[in-house]
Copies of this chain bind each other. A is one copy, B any other.
Amino acid sequence: MAGSDRDDIDALIELMARLPGLGPRSARRAVLHMIAKRGQILSPLAELTRKVADTARECLNCGNVGTADVCAICRDEARATGLLCVVEDVADLWAMERSGQFGGRYHVLGGTLSALDSVGPEDLGIPRLVDRVSAEGVTEVILALNATVDGQTTAHYIADALEGRVTLSSLAQGVPIGGELDYLDDGTITAALRARRAL
């Protein structure tokens, strides 16, 4: 924009603007902030992005992101409980881990089935999931997919593929903790009402 001595800075802004959640304006602000805080942010960022670019990889077993061929969760013998949780992506796996309530292993699909985007069962590693169920002696599969149309379609497909081989369950649907009825959509209230629990 303002002369030839800004080529690298402009390229960095353009690259940052391609990250989810950032646009051209916020990328500009972010890069100027980095430059203003060179010691605290820009230099460590240069080092860490290099390190992560060199070492980050997907777990060959479950698809989690880490720095080893097989991730810490899959290596943990204490988690070989025969319980498998299927999630759409790595962010969902991390969200499940933050709850600290699940002691089994995961299977990351990397998306959902989609006829429009021609994403089929092979692309999501569903055949490999079926193989894992046999190979790892899995007895229960929890389908922790998003409560969207695509997520639920994918859950149905996987449930069909695994039927009769394992106990299947999906996450409960209902009122989120701290949720106020007045702010919830009809679908959520309907689901919460249908799945009401006796006291």
List A residues at the B interface (Cβ < 8 Å).
1-6, 8-9, 11-12, 15-16, 18-22, 26, 28-35, 38, 41-46, 48-53, 55-56, 64-68, 71-73, 75-76, 89-91, 93-94, 97-98
Contact = CB atoms under 8 A, between A and B. Distances in A.
A30 B45 CA distance: 13
Nearest to A2: B97
Q: Is the interface of A mostly helix, strand, loop or mixed?
A: helix
B15 A20 contact: no
A56 to B, nearest CB: 5
Given A2-B94, A5-B72, A9-B65, 4 more contacts: A2-B73, A3-B75, A6-B66, A42-B49
B8 A65 contact: no
